[in-house]
Amino acid sequence: MEIESGVKDTFNIQVKGLVQGVGFRPFIYLLAREFKLKGWVENRNDCVQIKVQGEPQKIDKFISSIKKISPEASNIESILYKTFCLFFYIFSLSSVLSFFVAFLNSLIP
């Protein structure tokens, strides 16, 4: 495996509103691939949660694009985001990692 160089940021993004049952997760997956970002996306009770890692300018464009080109059936009320420390190798739709990520986040002050 080749290790990528360059500065990487990792963000936890929560998108609230009408974002479930409208194709939002596949939209996020394709958008993340377009920007060559890594991480995952999952539905939560109150939001769609995204963990994403990549170059800072690509993440900025990714977050801006979420609201600009989201699925027509969606209605975004808010997008909240913060940085955290974790490294990804792929982007996936799986929620299997959520326990692992929550555990790692609990170790970070």
pLDDT tens sequence across 24-65: 999 999 999 999 999 989 999 999 999 998 998 999 999 999
Give Cα separations from 54 to 5, 47, 85 (angstroms): 11, 22, 12
Pick the CATH number of 9-107 from 3.30.43.10, 3.30.70.100, 1.10.10.410, 2.40.110.10: 3.30.70.100
Does position 108 have pLDDT exceeding 70, yes or no?
Answer: no
Domain boundaries, the chain: 9-107
| Helix (H), strand (E), coil (C) string for 45-104 | CCCEEEEEEECHHHHHHHHHHHHHCCCCCCEEEEEEEEECCCCCCCEECCCCCHHHHHHH
Q: How many CA atoms lie within 13 A of 28 on its CB side?
A: 28
Q: Given the residues 43, 44, 45, 105, select the one marked as catalytic.
A: 43
Instruction: Let me know if 44 is a catalytic residue.
Output: no
Give 79-98 pLDDT, tens digit per residue: 999 987 665 555 565 554 55
- Catalytic, 45? Answer no
DSSP 108: -
Catalytic entry in 25, 33, 44, 75? 25
Q: What is the pLDDT of residues 58-72, one digit of tens each?
A: 999 999 999 999 999
